[in-house]
Protein backbone atom coordinates (compact mmCIF):
# COMPACT_ATOMS: atom_id res chain seq x y z
CA UNK A 1 0.00 0.00 0.00
CA UNK A 2 2.87 2.35 0.82
CA UNK A 3 4.50 1.81 -2.57
CA UNK A 4 1.19 2.07 -4.42
CA UNK A 5 0.36 5.34 -2.68
CA UNK A 6 3.78 6.82 -3.42
CA UNK A 7 3.54 5.78 -7.06
CA UNK A 8 0.27 7.67 -7.45
CA UNK A 9 1.75 10.63 -5.57
CA UNK A 10 4.50 10.88 -8.19
CA UNK A 11 2.07 10.49 -11.08
CA UNK A 12 -0.38 13.06 -9.71
CA UNK A 13 2.40 15.55 -8.91
CA UNK A 14 3.45 15.61 -12.55
CA UNK A 15 -0.07 16.09 -13.86
CA UNK A 16 -2.66 18.82 -13.76
CA UNK A 17 -5.52 16.32 -14.12
CA UNK A 18 -8.10 16.39 -11.34
CA UNK A 19 -8.85 12.73 -12.07
CA UNK A 20 -5.26 11.69 -11.29
CA UNK A 21 -5.29 13.70 -8.07
CA UNK A 22 -8.53 11.93 -7.11
CA UNK A 23 -6.98 8.54 -7.81
CA UNK A 24 -4.02 9.48 -5.62
CA UNK A 25 -6.31 10.38 -2.74
CA UNK A 26 -8.31 7.17 -3.08
CA UNK A 27 -5.11 5.09 -3.26
CA UNK A 28 -4.34 6.06 0.33
CA UNK A 29 -7.70 4.70 1.47
CA UNK A 30 -7.38 1.54 -0.63
CA UNK A 31 -4.14 0.66 1.16
CA UNK A 32 -5.80 0.97 4.59
CA UNK A 33 -8.89 -0.93 3.46
CA UNK A 34 -6.83 -3.80 2.03
CA UNK A 35 -4.74 -4.05 5.19
CA UNK A 36 -7.88 -4.16 7.32
CA UNK A 37 -9.44 -6.90 5.21
CA UNK A 38 -6.26 -9.01 5.39
CA UNK A 39 -6.15 -8.57 9.17
CA UNK A 40 -9.81 -9.56 9.50
CA UNK A 41 -9.39 -12.67 7.36
CA UNK A 42 -6.35 -13.78 9.37
CA UNK A 43 -7.49 -12.54 12.79
CA UNK A 44 -7.02 -15.82 14.66
CA UNK A 45 -3.50 -16.28 13.31
CA UNK A 46 -2.63 -12.65 14.08
CA UNK A 47 -3.81 -13.00 17.68
CA UNK A 48 -1.49 -15.97 18.17
CA UNK A 49 1.53 -14.33 16.49
CA UNK A 50 1.20 -10.65 17.43
CA UNK A 51 4.76 -10.49 18.79
CA UNK A 52 6.12 -11.10 15.27
CA UNK A 53 4.68 -7.78 14.10
CA UNK A 54 5.81 -5.38 16.81
CA UNK A 55 9.34 -4.64 15.57
CA UNK A 56 8.50 -4.61 11.82
CA UNK A 57 5.58 -2.27 12.55
CA UNK A 58 7.84 0.23 14.29
CA UNK A 59 10.34 0.06 11.43
CA UNK A 60 7.63 0.66 8.82
CA UNK A 61 6.23 3.63 10.75
CA UNK A 62 9.69 5.18 11.09
CA UNK A 63 10.50 4.64 7.39
CA UNK A 64 7.20 6.13 6.26
CA UNK A 65 7.73 9.11 8.56
CA UNK A 66 11.22 9.65 7.14
CA UNK A 67 10.13 9.33 3.50
CA UNK A 68 7.02 11.46 3.93
CA UNK A 69 8.80 14.39 5.51
CA UNK A 70 11.93 14.15 3.33
CA UNK A 71 9.69 14.39 0.25
CA UNK A 72 8.05 17.55 1.62
CA UNK A 73 11.37 19.26 2.32
pTM listed for this prediction: 0.48
Write the pLDDT tens digit of every residue in 2-42: 676 677 777 767 766 666 666 666 766 777 788 889 989 99
Q: What's the CA gap between 8 and 14, in Å, rounded?
A: 10
Q: What's the CA gap between 59 and 61, in Å, rounded?
A: 5
Q: What's the CA gap between 42 and 23, in Å, rounded?
A: 28
Q: What's the CA gap between 11 and 15, in Å, rounded?
A: 7
C-alpha torsion 33→38→40→44, nearest 10: -160
Half-sphere exposure of 28 (CA within 13 A, CB side): 8
Amino acid sequence: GFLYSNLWTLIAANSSSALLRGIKESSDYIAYFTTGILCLINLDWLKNHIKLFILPSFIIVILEYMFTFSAVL
